Amino acid sequence: MTQQIKVGGVVIGGGAPVSIQSMTNTKTQDAASTIAQIKSLAAAGCQIVRLAVPDMEAAEAIEKIREESPIPIVADIHFDHRLAVAAAERGADKIRINPGNVGGAENVKKVVEACRARHIPIRIGVNGGSLEKPLLQKYGGATAEAMLESALGHARLLEQEDFHDICISLKASDVPTTVRAYRLAARSTDYPLHIGVTEAGGGDAALIKSAAGLGALLIDGIGDTMRVSLTGDPLREISAAREILRAAGLRHEGVEIISCPTCGRTEIDLEKIAAGVTEALRGCKRDIRVAVMGCVVNGPGEAKSADYGIAGGRGCGVLFRRGETVGKVSEADMISALVKMIEEDA
Ligand code: SF4
């Protein structure tokens, strides 16, 4: 089991539930826009949010952002230890920085002291794309072994200052390297692991890369906090993270919609109805499975494991509850009738 760290009020590692992170894409200096985005991310289920801190103006904005953020914030810093110290002083709940890149032991010490004094953990974030040249030469590229050696090297610089409030990430943009790096890390260190596939891209391919990589790790019990990286609106990252956690059997809150793939027996506009049911039940917190099936021949049987469901007939739908038929409605009323039945049982 990994060690535990605390990021604001969120516990990471040591068997705590896997927390969901995202990153704002506003300018951090623009505190109002950043706060608005953090609030919508938090409302969607984000538990920790990271902000880019490229300059002192951004570091200073953390004070105002921290006051209004409903969730802990992580300052993402490259190279400049002064920004890390400033971010810690202004209330960041975690600092993401690689101590090997801050210009020497004296600067590492300053970052460590600023964090230690406030019980702020540091995440070492190794990316396959920005590995140290000697490691690239030693391993012949950005391999999983090279990434792990890089992370442990950064960690050693913190350990030399007797600082152990550490979390590690090892992100490559390809899934097999990412998975291998985290598997190696899980065997080599007990620091909590922040898992993610970096630069996954956008669209379906990005979702699938994240689901394959994070799913493989989570099912193996690897990963203490996660970020799904998607190009575009970070809100999509939260729903994707929740679904990956659910698929890995680690999250039980909220509705799981199962729908059949459709076939020649399909009697209703299943895609539209499944989308409507998903939307109507988005805010429902009950741990239930809802089936939306295309026909009455196989639908109720195929969805026996569901708590509630609907199966299409010609111009109508059959409602069922735990495999038992409970009524018949017109196609136009299918969504509302299904939702009503679920709400009545709540
Ligand atoms: Fe086809 Fe019916 Fe199965 Fe859907 S539930 S795939 S419509 S047989």
pLDDT in tens, 93-107: 999 999 988 889 999
**3-state secondary structure labels for all residues of 28-46:** CCCHHHHHHHHHHHHHHCC
Is a pLDDT exceeding 90 seen at residue 205? no
Ligand 1 atom closest to the CA of 295, numbered from 1: 2
Query: For the chain, what's the residue count?
Result: 346
- Confidence class of residue 200 from pLDDT cuts 50, 70 and 90? low
C-beta of 243 in contact with ligand 1 (< 6 A): no
CA 23 to mean position of chain CA atoms: 10
Give the bridge partners for 325, in sequence order. 320
Give residue 274 CA to ligand 1 midpoint distance, Å.
14
| CB contact burial 48-69 (16+ within 10 A = b; e otherwise) | bbbbbbeeeebbbbbeebbeeb
Which of 157, 156, 151, 155 shows the shortest CA–CA distance to 178?
151
Return the sign of the alpha-carbon dihedral for residues 315, 319, 325, 329: negative
Tens digit of pLDDT for each residue in 243-293?
A: 999 999 998 878 888 999 999 989 889 999 999 999 899 878 888 999 999
CB 305 within 8 A of CB 261: no
pLDDT at 300: 74
Cα 44 from Cα 40, distance rounded (Å)? 6
CA 322 to mean position of chain CA atoms: 31
Cα 251 from Cα 106, distance rounded (Å)? 43
C-beta of 260 in contact with ligand 1 (< 6 A): yes
Model pTM? Answer: 0.86
User: How many CA within 13 A on the CB side of residue 297?
Assistant: 7
The preferred substitution site among 298, 304, 320 for testing ligand 1, maximizing ligand atoms within 8 Å of CB, is: 298
CB 83 within 8 A of CB 75: yes
Alpha helices in 45-104 (DSSP H): 56-68, 81-89
C-beta of 273 in contact with ligand 1 (< 6 A): no
Which of 326, 335, 203 shows the shortest CA–CA distance to 269?
335
